[in-house]
Amino acid sequence: MVQIEVFRRQLELAKELERPASIHCVQAFGDLLEVLQSEGPFPAGLILHSYIGSAEMVPGFAKHGAYFSFSGHLTSMKPQKAKRMLKMVPMDRILLESDAPDGFPRLDNCALSWVPDDVSVPQELRMQTRETNMDTSMLPKDILNHPANISCVLSYVAMLLEMPEEELAEVSYRNASRLFSYPGSKFSEEDLSPFVMTT
């Protein structure tokens, strides 16, 4: 298959350049793991963007250097399934992302931000900057996600992992810093200022 061959070449290039590879996988986690097993290891790491795969797949991906990035798409999983999967991810491999303008978090108890002039947002909500305690299942599927909604992803993942938000923010920050401090990067772990979380 052409797609898999091109993907293999991209992985080879990432290894050659000593860069992490960002992978967007949708309903093909078994196939992805097979490719990683044949092409690995990946010393610079792999990013499984907006990961919503099973808990059972986590150890295999982690063995090949994968980092697991979580976005609002995680809210599409049943909470118990998401919690089981998150508990399998090593702490030094957790990343958080907004995936804006996609990945709107479907959370009813979070202060959500709206993209200005997004016509898919109901008129009564467009007048407000943020909304809490609403039924997000009533919102249209094509609603745009605002980057500020990463705070909702942080809250949700922290709740499922049963850990303080500040601790999870620090973990994700350190993991991202380590992952993106590759040779030739515009920054290194040593150059980064200490993490400060503001609410």
Residues that constitute the known binding site for a divalent metal cation: 24, 49, 99
| Contacts for 171 with CB less than 8 Å, ≥ 6 apart | 91, 92, 94
Residues forming a β-bridge with 23: 48
Nearest-CA neighbor of 3 among 24, 194, 158, 70? 24
Binding-site entries: 24, 49, 99
How many CA atoms within 13 Å lie on the side-chain side of 169? Answer: 15
**CA 67 to chain CA centroid, nearest Å:** 9
SS3 assignment for 49-91:
CCCCCCHHHHHHHHHCCEEEEECHHHHHCCHHHHHHHHHHCCH
